[in-house]
Structure 1
């Protein structure tokens, strides 16, 4: 793993779900998870993430994989609705802002911020609380030296998603000029050091 990338401090994101850095060998699984969710979203009438269905990725999964900033969450249990080893969730934790982030957040001092994108939960795990667990893990389960807070965004007018972020402790900082809700949450002191 690159020293610039995300370092896992706590491998368990939630009971029975393990975090791992996406590698070139597992990138296809991560991509399939995202495309599957984009297909589902399209089926609900949403255009969110539709670029993924045309091979366009505004948040650059491939680049995030190369930098060690993509984290896959695997199911580590068997049982009803569970399959050991199956990809269950994904998140990108970008240490530097991309063009999308600069467009939304302007030219505010970006250096102390981590940018969370592509929070994804496989449909088989919808309603399980894994999304909230991934948000918690992003703050507490990885090492983020030099970063003071996590920023994220979502399209305005999605009250369920906005409520998820607020319930996970993210403060709303308003709406961007192009209609995206902006959220931020401070990182705990433990996020700056390795687990002993």
Structure 2
């Protein structure tokens, strides 16, 4: 399997991935991802080069977004001074479930973040999805805290505020052939060669 940057032509596939995942999550008893994600926001993230696709031959097996900016209101000022990369929208196609592809993507993201100069790989997960939280804990993340206030709508309740992090580390064990674009350094202006 290869991992590469998503392109604007992947937008329909990414929106379908989210819809498929929302249906699966509903079956597990969680309300995660029930609101459609804005296509224009996703397209902007693709154009920034922050969305990655895992391809298995002609099939798209998974996706992950890896960005250097934290969502407002989640991390403390001190935490924001620590070089970090943030993952979100990690989604594995149901056709590729059960192969720990999500764990391999977390290792890939940790390696890419390490190469960028980040010391932390961070995420915010759905506050009511305890199975997802356990998944991240099993993959080496430590729970930092849960933020429940200051959501996007009028500062109301936050639905994705379970914060976790793990140190970045080099890893070739993810087994993905990396065709993603250059890694941009968080600590300088130069790209880091792999």
- Provide the TM-score with structure 2 as the length reference: 0.73
Whether contact under 8 Å (1:94, 1:114) holds in the other structure is yes
2 CA distance for matches of 1:148 and 1:167? 20
User: Within 2, Cα distance between the matches of 1:181 and 1:146?
Assistant: 24
The reply to whether residue 176 of structure 1 matches residue 147 of structure 2 is: yes
What is the SS of the residue equivalent to 2:73? helix
Determine the C-alpha separation between the residues in 1 that align with 2:131 and 2:30.
Answer: 14
Query: Structure 1 stretch 21-30 or stretch 105-114: which is displaced more?
Result: 105-114
Tell me how far 1:157 sits from its aligned partner: 3.8
Q: Which of these residues, 41, 44, 64, is aligned with residue 60 of structure 1?
A: 41
Partner residue, 1:163: 134
Measure the CA separation in 1 of the matches of 2:15 and 2:41. 11
1:22 counterpart = 2:3: no
Task: Kindly provide the CA deviation profile for residues 152-195 of structure 1, in whole angstroms up to 9, marking residues without a partner as x.
Answer: 01123433212221121111112113463210112226887432
Structure 1's unaligned 5+ residue stretches are 1-16, 76-83
Structure 1 counterpart SS, 2:69? coil
- TM-score of the aligned structures, taking structure 1 as reference length: 0.72
Q: Is the CA contact 1:89–1:121 (under 8 Å) kept in the aligned structure 2?
A: yes
Distance, in Å, in 2 between the alignment partners of 1:66 and 1:49 is 22
How many Å separate the matches in 2 of 1:109 and 1:182?
A: 12
* Structure 2 runs not aligned, ≥5 long: 150-157, 172-182, 186-191
Residue 9 of structure 1 is matched in structure 2 by none
Q: Do structure 1's residue 121 and structure 2's residue 92 form an aligned pair?
A: yes
